[in-house]
Structure 1
Amino acid sequence: MSDLFSSSSSDLPAGLDNEKELQEFLLVEREKAKLQAQIHEFADICWDKCVDKPSTKLDSRTETCMLNCVDRFIDVSLLITNRFAQMLQKSAGGY
């Protein structure tokens, strides 16, 4: 029986044979988890902001609010991502 904290190479996803590959794999998985958490948080924020009372259909006001909320979220996410990329380029170019 395998211990939860020990693993053999057969327990790892295919292609993860060394420690560097494993670290990269774990980093990607952490980033995926962060993204999922952000999406859930965002959905909660937009829901609380836009939905007064749950029903079987969205009225036009609620639909418009949700669309605007999503659009602003995407705009801000892209802005932050682009700024971060610019900062990385500047810091990498400075060396």
Structure 2
Amino acid sequence: MDSSSSMAGRGSVDPQLKHFIELETQKQRYKHLVHQMTELCWEKCMDKPGPKLDSRAETCFVNCVERFIDTSQFILNRLEQTQQSRPAISEGLSD
């Protein structure tokens, strides 16, 4: 086997491997997001840890998680809008 054929094999990426890597990357992002949310809400809502959550802490956690999800969704939607508008802007500049 010569070096040019082995280099050509390295340039192509197995679609299954690519899909696996994308899934693992998504899992890692999700875990990071959950960790971030947990840390943020814990700091905000837990005054003194005990054997049970009191109703104030429980309500605080629910509200914190809901706001975190709302904010994350808003940011994702905004980024998608920005990405979609970008090609139109660059096409307009090239005319």
Query: Where does the alignment leave 5 or more consecutive residues of structure 2 unmatched?
Result: 1-12
Aligned residues: 78
> Is the partner of 1:53 in helix, strand or coil?
coil
Give the number of the structure whose alpha-carbon radius of gyration is greater.
2
Equivalence for 2:42: 47
Give the Å deviation of 1:59. 1.0
The structure with the largest helix share of the pair is 2
CA distance in 2, matches of 1:21, 1:68: 40
The residue aligned with 1:10 is none
Task: Give the aligned residue type for 1:57.
Answer: K
TM-score by length of 2: 0.70
Decide whether aligned partners of structure 1 residues 93 and 25 sit closer, same or farther in structure 2, where only a CA change above 3 A counts.
farther
After TM superposition, the structure 1 = structure 2 runs for residues 10-29 of structure 1, keeping only pairs within 5 Å, are: 19-29=14-24
Two-structure CA RMSD over aligned residues (Å): 1.7
Inter-partner Cα distance in structure 2 for 1:90 and 1:24: 27
Higher relative contact order (CA 8 A, sep 6+): 2
Structure 1: state its 5+ residue gaps. 1-17
Identity across matched positions, percent? 42
Q: So what's the TM-score if we normalise by structure 1?
A: 0.70
1:38 aligned partner: 33
Post-superposition CA distance 1:27-72 (Å, at most 9, x none): 2211211111110121011112111111222111111111111111
